[in-house]
Amino acid sequence: MRLLEFLTSTAAQREFASANFEYPVNPEVEPAERVAEWGEFKADRLNLGSLGEYADEAVAIFDEVGWR
């Protein structure tokens, strides 16, 4: 819990925002200038559980065409 509290703190979020160009999760922290130019953060609504749905088929195609 203390780690999560630190990671979402104003100080840590400022570091992440400026060093990694991440959108800050703490609303008190402004994004880096470059990130702010991209506009408002829009969460992706993709269900990540669906990403592996076609994994077996994809691997078979990769093998068929010799992709590594």
The answer to whether the pTM exceeds 0.85 is: no
pLDDT band at residue 49 using 50, 70 and 90 as cut-offs: confident
Q: How far apart are CA 37 and CA 43, in angstroms?
A: 17
> Which two tokens mark 37?
């130019």
Percentage of the chain lying above the pLDDT 90 cut: 81
> Mean pLDDT of all residues in the chain?
93
